[in-house]
Amino acid sequence: MPSPASPLDFVYTGHAVRVVFGAGSLDHLEREIGLLGARRALVLSTPEQAGQAEDIARRLGARCAGIFARAVMHVPIETARAAREEAARVGADCALAVGGGSTTGLGKAIALESALPILAIPTTYAGSEMTTIYGISEGGAKKTGRDARVLPRTVIYDPKLTLSLPPALSAVSGMNAIAHSVEALYAVDANPIISLMAEEGIRALARGLPRVVAAPGDLDARADCLYGAWLCGTALNGTSMALHHKLCHTLGGSFNLPHAETHTVILPHATAYNARGTPAAMVRIAAALGAPTAAQGLLDLERRLGTPLALKDIGLSEAALDRAAELAAANPYANPVPIERAAIRRLLDNAYHGRAPEEA
Ligand code: NAD
């Protein structure tokens, strides 16, 4: 029998999602909708991606029940209600989400109440399509939870659909994905299967992102990034997240900071904070980045990508730092290094000014 301290003593839960991957894989949409048994799909998108939604609707032909192009960040309850009503009104038997985490999140809000199957076509690297995690915001607060009903049944990853994602957005979205894998590698419930995916996900994104930023039309680089995003989303779903995600949730939820940019700025700092508590994970993260240390490797990648590096540059006011530190240290949760308010306040100060990350 392995000893309790052995890495080969773990729990792994597999989730059945059918993944269709490859440039041009959207051409399989009709087949995939058929396999789901759906006859009336409601196509969801943001207003900005209404054109992509219309293209999908054309491909679906008679199997399209309508388009709801009103997805916005953080799934406001009013939007969720309107989408649910629209799904019921048109007699939808499937929610088809084409877009990033905001659109997938709207599909999840529908599935949560109706149990409609979701077919997701991700166009960012957020990874929501691989998770049972949903979030709905009401009265300024975002409530999140896990429910198997919101996990998409089928995901079509077509790198061609990501060609239009602007380089700056691609960069921060990719760092958002890497953050899932960083925390999966040191999660309290880490396991060797998810760790394989997490490490490979970081490697694929670290390989692809600089090429995407240099040449946004490079389809091979786009495929690397989307492949990495899939693995990182699976890592997010398969483990419990810690300090990094807690900080980003607090900053996003309470101070309305942009999601992927916040992940980008915080990630090197949260990684450095946790470094001494989880050396083996740090070695794997550094190896995947091809860097001497994990936190430095993340920062170097971000500098190469030209992402924001300071909270002051993405909309946070300095006056908010005390409250943010208080909120982030309020409820205890598993983390490789103890969460101490003063140390978190210092982390936030460094992140606010864009200073070098420090170990706790
Ligand atoms: P997003 O979905 O809000 O998209 C950002 C903008 O980019 C939107 O205007 C969108 O229309 C546009 N866009 C997306 N793909 C494009 C493309 N290929 N070409 C041109 N424009 C494109 O951003 P996001 O970062 O993907 O998602 C963020 C949201 O997802 C947050 O609310 C976050 O909490 C949630 N999220 C949830 C999970 C989960 O597991 N539940 C995981 C990650 C993120």
313-353: pLDDT as tens digits: 999 999 999 999 999 999 889 999 999 999 999 999 999 99
- Average pLDDT on 243-251 reads 95
Banded model confidence at residue 140, pLDDT cuts 50, 70, 90: confident
Residue 341 C-alpha to ligand 1 middle, in angstroms?
31
User: pLDDT at residue 253 above 90?
Assistant: no
Tokens of 288: 């995947």
Across the range 18-22, mean pLDDT stands at: 98
Measure the CA–CA gap between 102 and 73, rounded to whole angstroms.
5
In short, whether 102's Cβ falls inside 6 Å of ligand 1 is: yes
Whether residue 62 has pLDDT greater than 50: yes
- Which candidate, 21, 73, 25, places its Cα nearest to that of 47? 73
212 in Cβ contact with 221 (< 8 Å): yes
- What residue ranges define each of the domains in the chain, with the CATH number in brackets? 18-162 (3.40.50.1970), 167-353 (1.20.1090.10)
What residue owns the CA closest to ligand 1's atom 6? Answer: 100
pLDDT of 2 over the 50 cut: no
| Number of neighbouring beta carbons within 10 Å of residue 255 | 17
Task: Give Cα 14 distance to the centre of its chain.
Answer: 19
For 100, the enclosing helix (H) or strand (E) is none
Across 51-65, 136-150, 185-199, 231-245, least confident range: 136-150
Where would I find the beta strands (DSSP E) of 84-179? 94-99, 118-122, 133-138, 141-146, 154-157
- pLDDT on residue 21: 98
**pTM for the predicted model, two decimal places:** 0.97
The burial of 1, by beta-carbon neighbours within 10 Å (0-12 exposed, 13-18 middle, 19 or more buried), is given as exposed
Residue 245 near ligand 1, beta carbon < 6 Å = no
Assigned token pair, 154: 């089928």
| pLDDT category of residue 5 using cuts at 50, 70 and 90 | low
Beta bridge partners of 289: none
Task: Check residue 1 and give its pLDDT.
Answer: 46
What distance in angstroms lies between residue 99's CA and the mean position of ligand 1's atoms?
Answer: 7
pLDDT above 70 coverage of the chain, percent: 99
User: What residues form DSSP beta bridges with 15?
Assistant: none
How many residues are present in the chain? 360
Query: Which residues are registered as beta bridge partners of 43?
Result: 67, 96
Cα(113) to ligand 1 centroid in Å equals 22
Q: Are 111 and 153 in contact (CB under 8 A)?
A: no
Question: How does 80-93 read in b/e, with b if 16+ C-beta sit within 10 Å?
Answer: beebbebbeebebb
